[in-house]
Amino acid sequence: MTDVVYTTASPRIALVTGGSRGLGRSTVFSLAELGVPSIFTYHTNRAQADEVVARLAQRGCRGIALPLDTGDASSFDAFVARLREALSELGADRIDFLVNNAGTSHHRAIETTTEAELDSLYEVHFKGVFLLTAKLLGLLRDGGRIVNVSSGLTRVSVPGSAAYASMKGAVEVLTRYLAKELGPRGIAANTVAPGAIQTDFSGGMVRDNPEVNRFVAANTALGRAGVAEDIGPLIASLLMSSHRWVNGQRIEASGGMIL
């Protein structure tokens, strides 16, 4: 049996894409509470990323922010080089945990979705996740863990979400293959599929549109829309050895939406 036992003197390190806001930020903070420092990525908002680093420092935990466009696969080699430097700053040479969270939203009917929009979603949500993960496997420690973030929209069909949900469906399949192929290294891979969450994702639609918020609450068993803090601790817990036997699974966290 392969167990997850950390005997190395190096600290456990997480890499979280899209960690400067929303679900990614909640994950970074949740990992900090477990004593795990994060290297996290941001797209363009450096000030927001610096704020996360500062808040981590206030909590007595290290954090390093690196810029990354997960839709630009040509930048991944340079990113891996910067990642190696960041790991050295933290006294490590490997990551233990990978959370593929970064993403963009899209709400358009199938007939009006353009080729350019579909390509963009593919590059960020599937091609980027696939190729970045492949690039990072040499830096992921044996016995490590991967969590890919999907969506409740792969289970529930909502008009206007076909392109986005299809890419997330592909990520769920990829996750199962990662679990199978990386099993000999003791690496587990799982998917977390959040329901409707009150963040700035989709322009803050669930958080700021009262009609949407009421609809979500009315169709959720627990009677409200989710918040980032419902998801970050779940992702963090899946990375811990207490969940070492959970592998190749899709775990929905939606409060019981549309059961």
For CA atoms 7, 179, 61, 124, give the dihedral sign.
Answer: positive
The neighbouring-strand residues paired with 100 are 148
Q: What is the rounded CA–CA span in Å between residue 14 and residue 38?
A: 5
H or E element at residue 94: none
Q: Which residues contact 4 (CB under 8 A, 6 or more apart)?
A: 143, 145, 186, 241, 244
CA dihedral (40, 209, 155, 71) in degrees, to 10, reads: -40
CA distances from 27 to 110, 194, 195 (A): 32, 13, 16
Q: Assess contact for 23 and 197: CB atoms under 8 A.
A: yes
**Residue 6 annotated in active site:** no
- Single-letter amino acid code for the residue at 218: A
The rounded distance, in Å, linking the Cα atoms of 134 and 157 is 30
Where in the sequence numbering do the catalytic residues fall? 164
